[in-house]
Amino acid sequence: MTAPLGRVLIIAGSDSGGGAGVQADVKAVTMLGGHAATAITAITIQNTLGVHGVHPLPLEVVTAQARAVLDDIGTDAVKTGMLGSVEVVETVAALLDTTPAPAVVDPVMIAKGGHPLLEDRAVEAVRELMVPRAGLLTPNAPEAEALTGLTVADLDGQRRAGEALLNLGAQAVLMKGGHVAGGETVIDLLVTPNGETLLEGPRIGTTSTHGTGCTLASACAAGIAWGKPVEVAVAEAWAYVAEAIRRAPGLGGGHGPLDHAWPVRGR
């Protein structure tokens, strides 16, 4: 019997507030019709006001979770998020080498409230080990700057950084533009060896953007897991996240979560 498509193994940190991390990933994959499995890298203590603690899990536990999924359920795509340290990056890179499933790599470095989620010394490990293994890399502007050393302050900067990351081995790069100053417009740029795709929309005036990057990467992974071309998967994920931001419920006193479940309530 052929296994159904749409299986996504998520390797990332847990967010107790439910807005980002594994919790956001599972919601996004589920809402887009996939099956989400997880290997948690760290337990974070956080809410909409910020990250109040990070507790990494032992490397052998991270590996055991992933192997339990891969050896039984299997996966059609892997999505990585918060890794935290050089050692976890090395562990996850080794896991990626054991499966032919494409990897969507979200190079998480800093939480929405400013708390670092990746050690400074681990940036080089992400550059050397994760970028070349990425079927799709999804950096925001500061992450792209850290990985390439290039300034990303406008669309041309996004383009240059995206091309540099392709040259480092990524198969496709989604350069997110939320951190790029652009007035009333946000532009995300998908760069592939075959060309580029612009995803442009109005900047939504809201503080409910916690977990946007996690959600977008996981939504992309869901589409890729279903066998969709990267351009289609990214476009559908982008539309899903834009609506989730628009419908954000306004929870908490800080950076609130998106409305991941909006598809079940209809437009």
Tokens of 52: 């109040």
Please enumerate in sequence order all residues whose Cβ is within 8 A of that of 36, keeping only pairs 6 or more positions apart, or say none: 8, 10, 25, 26, 29, 30, 218
Q: What is the pLDDT of residues 25-66, one digit of tens each?
A: 999 999 999 999 999 999 999 999 999 999 999 999 999 999
Tokens of 104: 């969507």
With a cut of 60, say whether residue 193 has pLDDT above it.
yes
pLDDT value at position 33?
Answer: 95
Query: Of 30, 79, 176, 220, which is the active-site residue?
Result: 176
How much is the pTM? 0.94
Mean pLDDT along residues 219-230: 97
- Measure Cα distances from 97 to 57, 123, 130, 219 in Å: 21, 20, 11, 22
Q: What is the pLDDT of residues 162-190, one digit of tens each?
A: 999 999 999 999 999 887 877 788 899 99
Mean pLDDT along residues 3-13: 88
Q: 3-class SS at 80?
A: strand
Bridge pairing between strands 35-47 and 103-105: unpaired
Clarify whether 207 is annotated catalytic.
no
Clarify whether 6 is annotated catalytic.
no
pLDDT value at position 120?
Answer: 84
Amino acid at 191: V
Quick one: which of 69, 65, 67, 41 has its CA closest to 55?
41
Q: What is the dihedral of CA 173, 178, 181, 182, to 10 degrees?
A: 90
Query: Of 162, 214, 215, 223, which is the active-site residue?
Result: 214
pLDDT value at position 38?
Answer: 98
Clarify whether 176 is annotated catalytic.
yes
Query: Of 212, 220, 223, 256, which is the active-site residue?
Result: 212
Task: Estimate to the nearest angstrom the gap between the alpha carbon of 244 and the chain centroid.
Answer: 15
Tokens of 127: 């550059």
Mean pLDDT along residues 232-256: 95
Clarify whether 212 is annotated catalytic.
yes
pLDDT value at position 114?
Answer: 67
Residues of the chain with pLDDT > 90, as a percent, come to 84
pLDDT value at position 1?
Answer: 40
Quick one: which of 91, 118, 97 has its CA closest to 106?
118
Q: What is the pLDDT of residues 113-163, one digit of tens each?
A: 667 778 888 899 999 999 999 999 999 999 999 999 999 999 999 999 999
More confident residue, 114 or 1: 114
